[in-house]
Amino acid sequence: MKVVIIGGVAGGATAAARIRRLDEKAEIMVFEKSGFISYANCGLPYYIGGTIENEVDLTLQTPQSFYSRFRVDMRVYHEVISINPDSKTVTVKNLGTGEVFEESYDKLLISTGARPVKPPFDGIDSDRIFTLRTVEDTLKIKKYVTENKSKSAVIVGGGFIGIEVAENLHELGMNVTLVEAAQQLMSPFDSDMAAFIHAEIRKNGINLMLNTMVEGFADTESGINVKLKDKDTLNADMVVMAIGVAPDTALAKNAGLALGIKDSIVVNDRMETSHLDIYAVGDAVQIKNFVTDSDTLISLAGPANKQGRIAADNICGGDSRYTGGQGSSVIKIFDLTAASTGINERTAAQSGLAFDKVILSPMSHAGYYPGGKIMTMKVIFEKETYRILGAQIIGYDGVDKRIDVLAAAIRAGMKAYDLAELDLAYAPPYSSAKDPVNMAGYIIENIKNGVVKQWYYEDVDNLINDGGVTLLDARTQTEYSRGHIEGFINIPVDSLRERIGELDKNKPVYVMCQSGLRSYIASRILVGNGFDAYNFAGGFRFYDAVCNDKALNKKSTPCGMDD
């Protein structure tokens, strides 16, 4: 059997190694148009910033090492320029010599990945504008910054690459502006959770410009101008475009393969395309969202590696299936860690799902052990079934551990209230006896059993203007005096039983505290005394963060705040 693979990196290189492990006699050829067949995409920004010091560390395998281990014919600087399904051949150009030749195959695997999006703006072809997708891109940026002693940069796009490049250029001492057309960074997160990301970006001295459209570029003697819609033009030494990627599927399209979202390659759960003996994996393919079962694109290394393994199994006569992706991801943002899995509120609403959520602020480990830090956790679940739809966590320590537990829970089909039953490792330096994941489960269990009713950030404005309710802040008088929401009266939870007569039993009581715990206790006290009580999801800390972010974005005063 002769297998030809177009493209290396995550999907193609994984498939090549797996095919060899399954079939010692197979002839395997990989054509890669760049000079690198297996490299650490996700590490590229950190080489620019100097965290990864050695260029060699970016390369996971060389053609020589791959051949020595797996006897795979790895040909770099070879670009496949056409796929010919009828003759079962590919046409290849040797970029070094210019030679064009045909290579036959029994099985073909397409792993062409995605390409950075570059809109047709005026000046987009400037030598001062860069994208980041390959090792060559990284080396080009690094060389430019070093040789030109660049002092300023504009990053266009606030996704994974945009934020990581912004951070790493800032670490080099550069003045960095991050421009994003949307109202928030990091689209996998809901806007309320993204507020914490924005705060960290700003705290570290990056000029963050949200709701800002780029309209074009122009080279100047002093650098490059970035033209913005309805805002002053920016000038910088360089620009990095990071507004997203699109499937790189011109080969598949010209070969007549079925295409889907954004011209991605349509595959079944065996990673088979519409053409016999042609498979496709990675950022170039359309897959199923594991949570919604809808068609989607997920450009992450984890899914690409899994798909490469599955395609290899099936090429070798097996029957492996890809059950879809849920977009589990994590990113370092200076000292902050932000992670998500599954879908967010926006996607749940667009999918027509009836959902609820819990928001909590647990410590990363036992409070009595030094060094614990607060994280903000949001878990979204389906109302009737309590199926876990997604989760977002932002904090400093232990975020990656908890998101992985929740990602596994989604994959296992656990009910949201079953999170309370998980038997998770505990020692004071690492967790609490009630792990944050357990705590989310306890809250959801309470909701299911009618022990607690919630209200949310988006309800605040309506409630402030509703004279038929009581708004209660259960924090201490000192906390209340430092900042509270207008219209809330202050009765600390520890005084509530003695002062409960101050409240009108005929009015529902909407309770808030700093994190949600004391207000939950206050709610139970109120319910036990015949009141109709609702607990605020997230606490004043959460509310304050979201309001401050909105105020900065709109250049206005924080919503509903009274100092």
Which residues are part of the catalytic machinery?
42
Task: Supply φ then ψ for residue 314, to 5 degrees.
Answer: -75, -35
The answer to whether residues 130 and 138 touch, using CB atoms and an 8 Å cutoff, is no
Give the Cβ contact number of residue 420 at 10 Å.
18
- DSSP class of 557: P
The answer to whether residues 171 and 204 touch, using CB atoms and an 8 Å cutoff, is no
- DSSP class of 243: S
The closest alpha carbon to 284, from 228, 322, 333, 245, belongs to 245
Of how many residues is the chain composed?
Answer: 563
CA atoms within 13 A on the CB side of 454: 20
In whole angstroms, give the CA distance from residue 162 to residue 159: 5
Question: What angle, 0 to 180 degrees and rounded to 10, lies between the N-to-C axes of helices 399-411 and 436-448?
Answer: 50
β-bridge mates for residue 197, sequence order? none
The closest alpha carbon to 313, from 107, 116, 145, belongs to 107
Report helix, strand or coil for 79: strand
Please state the separation of Cα 414 from the chain's center in Å: 22
Kindly provide the residue ranges of all beta strands, DSSP E only, lying in 211-328, ordered along the sequence: 214-220, 223-228, 234-236, 238-241, 245-247, 265-266, 278-280, 285-288, 295-296
Please report, in angstroms and rounded to a whole number, the separation of the first and last CA atoms in the chain.
74
Which stretch of DSSP H or E encloses residue 481?
helix 477-482
Which stretch of DSSP H or E encloses residue 338?
strand 336-342
In whole angstroms, give the CA distance from residue 525 to residue 533: 9
Q: Which amino acid is at 75?
A: R
The closest alpha carbon to 499, from 517, 467, 473, belongs to 473
The answer to whether residues 6 and 31 touch, using CB atoms and an 8 Å cutoff, is yes
Which stretch of DSSP H or E encloses residue 6?
strand 2-6
Q: What would you measure as the largest C-alpha separation in the chain, in angstroms?
A: 90
Computed on alpha carbons and rounded to an integer, the radius of gyration of the chain in Å comes to: 27
In whole angstroms, give the CA distance from residue 458 to residue 363: 25
Give the Cβ contact number of residue 426 at 10 Å.
14
The answer to whether residues 376 and 361 touch, using CB atoms and an 8 Å cutoff, is yes
Torsion over CA: 237, 35, 298, 256 (sign): positive
Residue 419's contacts (CB-CB under 8 Å, 6 or more residues apart) are: 379, 388, 406, 409, 437, 438, 440, 441, 444
